[in-house]
Amino acid sequence: KARLAPRHQRYAEVIAKSGQSLLAIINDILDFSKIEAGKLQLERIPVRPANIIDDVVSLFWERAASKHIDLAAYVAPNTPEEIEGDPVRISQVLSNLVNNALKFTEHGHVVVAVSMKSGGDAAGRDCTLEFSVSDTGVGIEEDKQASIFEAFSQGDQTTTRRYGGTGLGLAICRRLVEAMNGEIGLKSRPGKGSRFFFSTRTKMLVPAQPVRQVQNEKRAVI
């Protein structure tokens, strides 16, 4: 491994970080234009909701730890083992919400959860799944809440300077969720925190397993 002088190490880190945020912006713009052009195609393949939650938590675990924020996961016992959906796009929406939650939270916790809201009384039947991300962060002013899912909308003028971002993330999330036959929304109290949730209406392939339920509850908090 090449050793760098501390100053050069800092330069290298700045360059790497700039590269990453540039890539994130480019990806947002590409995604958004693809959706606007009507070229978004969703997959319908077997998805295990608990795995999605696990993957997203693993992805952000280190970042949460470095900010001293607890990142917890909860898979409700009624969550189907398997549904039909697009795992990449579900993860994308969830990651975006967790990323925001960590960005706008300085103390406390972020909880990622999934549960079944309705249906799913037998394999092959329709069911509605709800994912949510709650944080104890800065929250969002009531008059801003309605416009937060619009493209290029950010909390206020200081947001870009302080936190970066393009204001495209939630606009992309909303379109992806709508394409999954779902809805996205939020509840927030300024200074207290926010809870973002989205649903997807889809087919249940494998119902919640009784044995599995206990495991899920045991590892509720990671």
Residues that bind ligand ADP (CB under 6 A): 100-101, 104, 135, 137-140, 148, 153-155, 159, 165-171, 194
Q: How far is it, in rounded angstroms, from Cα 160 to Cα 164? A: 4
Q: How many CA atoms lie within 13 A of 10 on its CB side?
A: 2
Cβ closest to ligand ADP, residue 195 vs residue 201: 195
CB of 55 to ligand ADP, least distance (A): 20
CB of 22 to ligand ADP, least distance (A): 13
Contacts of 85 (CB under 8 A, 6+ apart): 42, 43, 44, 45, 47, 180, 200, 202
In sequence order, what DSSP letters do the residues of 19-71 get, joined into one string?
HHHHHHHHHHHHHHHHHHTT------EEE-HHHHHHHHHHHHHHHHHHTT-EE
Cβ closest to ligand ADP, residue 74 vs residue 197: 197
Pairing of strands 70-75, 109-119: parallel
CB of 110 to ligand ADP, least distance (A): 9
Cβ closest to ligand ADP, residue 77 vs residue 167: 167
CB of 176 to ligand ADP, least distance (A): 12
CB of 7 to ligand ADP, least distance (A): 31
Cβ closest to ligand ADP, residue 75 vs residue 101: 101
Cβ closest to ligand ADP, residue 17 vs residue 44: 17
Q: Which secondary structure element, helix H or strand E, spans residue 214, and what is its range? A: helix 210-218
